[in-house]
Structure 1
Amino acid sequence: MILYFSGTGNSEYVAKKIGKKIGDEVMDLFEKIRNDDFSSMHSERKWVIVVPTYAWRIPRIVQKWMESTSLTGSKDIYFVMTCGGSIGNAGKYLEKLCARKKMNYYGCIGITMPENYIALFSTPTKEKAMQIIEQAEGIIDHAASLIKNGERLPQSGLSFSDKINSGIVNAVFYPVFVHAKKFYTVNSCISCGKCVSVCPLNNIRLENGRPVWGDKCTHCMACICRCPKEAIEYGKHSKDLPRYVCPKSDIIYEKK
């Protein structure tokens, strides 16, 4: 079974493509995470977790869900991480997680996809995003082939910076940067509530027709990137930057 979490569609696209390649069920973890649903899940087929990379590791909200949820049936588990450039030393922490869950860690692979982290980086135009995704197709297919054949995903070489980024930097990044204090709306907001519905942590509510953010933000960028009027900004950094939602999801896969 393939389980995925996705803020702006990259991991959704990869998960569904792998699912199609290996003929396996694909399930979105959004509702389970949003509702703190830690009920046991069962699959006789190998588990495949597809998630974005947050500060060179899997998102903490996914980590929490996995730590709290019993995955029964198959003990074999793979991880596929979409990223803007590198997954660092994420595999080290995933292997430890699997050991605690008494599961067989079959490796982790990074898939470079278009950058969505508009809070700190520049997001690509649709044309550039399509080019990046096209370049990723071969790696996605290779990962799917390895998973289908029950082979381990390859471990790439690690640099000193990889170890630092997934360790010290990750530990500092969350408390210092991951908050919603810089989100705000501009006059083009139409009070549609899209930002409320796409937040995986129920962290946004409407007050007098405008979104108000709470203190549980995970920086998935779903609210700012999926706003139909581009009415949400993040400080000064997001101004004039294109909002990113995976442009191939709507082309290849029918949306829910």
Structure 2
Amino acid sequence: MILYFSGTGNSEYAAKRISSIIDDEAVSLFERLRDNDFSEINSERPWIIAAPTYAWRIPRILQSWLEKTRLSGNKNIYFVMTCGGNISNAGKYLEKLCAGKSLNYMGCMEIVMPENYIALFSTPSQEKASEIIRQAEETIDKAASIIKKGRTFPQHPLTLMDKLNSGIINDIFYPIFVHAKKFYATDACISCGICTNVCPTANIRLENGKPVWSKNCTHCMACISRCPKEAIEYGKHSIGLPRYTFPE
């Protein structure tokens, strides 16, 4: 079974492409994460977790959910991590997570996809995004082939920077950057409520027709990227930048 978490569509695409190749079910974790649903899930086929990379590791919201949820049946588990750059030493922490759940860690595959982290970086043009997606499809297909054969994902040599990125930098990054303080809506807002519906932590509510953010933000960028009027900004950084969601 393929379980995926996706804010702007990259990981959803990877999950569904793998699903079509290996003929296995792809299930969104959106509602389970939003509802704090930790009820047991069973699969007789290997587990595949498709997720974005947040500061060189899986999102903490997903890490917490996996720690609390029993995955019964098959003991093998793969991780497919979409990213704008690289996943550094994410595998170390995934292997530890799996050991704590008595699951057989089968490795993690890095899938470079279009950058969506508009809070800090620039998002690509449509033309550039399409080029990156085309290149990513070969890696996604390779991951699916390895899973189909029951082999482990290949692991690459790690640098000191990789270890620092997924370790101390990740620890520092979350408390400093992962909050909703800089989100705001401009006068272009039409009070459609899409931002409230796409938030996986139910962190957004409408007050007087405008979105208001609480303190439980995971920085998935779903709200700012999926706003139909581009009425949501993140401080001054996002102003004028194209929004990115995986093309339909």
User: TM-score, normalised to structure 1's length?
Assistant: 0.96
Aligned to 2:233: 233
Q: Percent identity, aligned pairs only?
A: 68
Looking at structure 2, the residues matched to 137 and 176 of structure 1 have their Cα atoms a distance apart, in angstroms, of: 34
Aligned to 1:36: 36
By how many angstroms is 1:49 displaced? Answer: 0.2
By how many angstroms is 1:165 displaced? Answer: 0.4
2:240 match: secondary structure: coil
Code of the aligned partner of 1:14: A
By how many angstroms is 1:191 displaced? Answer: 0.2
Code of the aligned partner of 2:89: N
After TM superposition, where is structure 1 displaced by more than 4 Å over at least 4 residues in a row?
A: none
Aligned to 2:49: 49
List per-residue Cα deviations over 1:98-151 (Å, max 9, x = no partner): 000000000001100000000000000111100000011111100000001100
Q: Which runs of 5+ in 1 are unaligned?
A: 251-256
By how many angstroms is 1:189 displaced? Answer: 0.2
Looking at structure 2, the residues matched to 129 and 96 of structure 1 have their Cα atoms a distance apart, in angstroms, of: 33
Looking at structure 2, the residues matched to 150 and 98 of structure 1 have their Cα atoms a distance apart, in angstroms, of: 17
Looking at structure 1, the residues matched to 184 and 178 of structure 2 have their Cα atoms a distance apart, in angstroms, of: 15
Looking at structure 2, the residues matched to 185 and 205 of structure 1 have their Cα atoms a distance apart, in angstroms, of: 12
Aligned to 1:62: 62
Aligned to 2:9: 9
Aligned to 2:190: 190
Looking at structure 1, the residues matched to 109 and 230 of structure 2 have their Cα atoms a distance apart, in angstroms, of: 33
Looking at structure 2, the residues matched to 184 and 21 of structure 1 have their Cα atoms a distance apart, in angstroms, of: 41
Looking at structure 2, the residues matched to 221 and 97 of structure 1 have their Cα atoms a distance apart, in angstroms, of: 25
List per-residue Cα deviations over 1:186-219 (Å, max 9, x = no partner): 1110000000000000000000000000000000
By how many angstroms is 1:162 displaced? Answer: 0.4
By how many angstroms is 1:156 displaced? Answer: 1.0
Code of the aligned partner of 2:207: E
- CA RMSD after TM alignment: 0.4
Looking at structure 1, the residues matched to 241 and 128 of structure 2 have their Cα atoms a distance apart, in angstroms, of: 13
Are 1:94 and 2:94 matched, yes or no?
yes
Code of the aligned partner of 1:153: F
By how many angstroms is 1:157 displaced? Answer: 1.2
1:42 match: secondary structure: strand
Code of the aligned partner of 2:51: V
List per-residue Cα deviations over 1:20-44 (Å, max 9, x = no partner): 0000000000000000000000000
Code of the aligned partner of 1:79: F
Looking at structure 2, the residues matched to 9 and 101 of structure 1 have their Cα atoms a distance apart, in angstroms, of: 28
Code of the aligned partner of 2:61: I
Give 1:155-234 correspondences, 5 Å limit.
Answer: 155-234=155-234
Aligned to 2:23: 23
2:55 match: secondary structure: coil
Aligned to 1:129: 129
Looking at structure 1, the residues matched to 135 and 69 of structure 2 have their Cα atoms a distance apart, in angstroms, of: 34
Looking at structure 2, the residues matched to 38 and 137 of structure 1 have their Cα atoms a distance apart, in angstroms, of: 32
Are 1:114 and 2:114 matched, yes or no?
yes
List per-residue Cα deviations over 1:80-107 (Å, max 9, x = no partner): 0000011010000000000000000000
Q: Which runs of 5+ in 2 are unaligned?
A: none
Code of the aligned partner of 1:150: G
Aligned pair count?
248
Code of the aligned partner of 1:109: M
2:120 match: secondary structure: coil
Aligned to 1:254: none
Code of the aligned partner of 2:138: G
Aligned to 2:82: 82
Looking at structure 2, the residues matched to 185 and 69 of structure 1 have their Cα atoms a distance apart, in angstroms, of: 35
Looking at structure 2, the residues matched to 226 and 138 of structure 1 have their Cα atoms a distance apart, in angstroms, of: 27
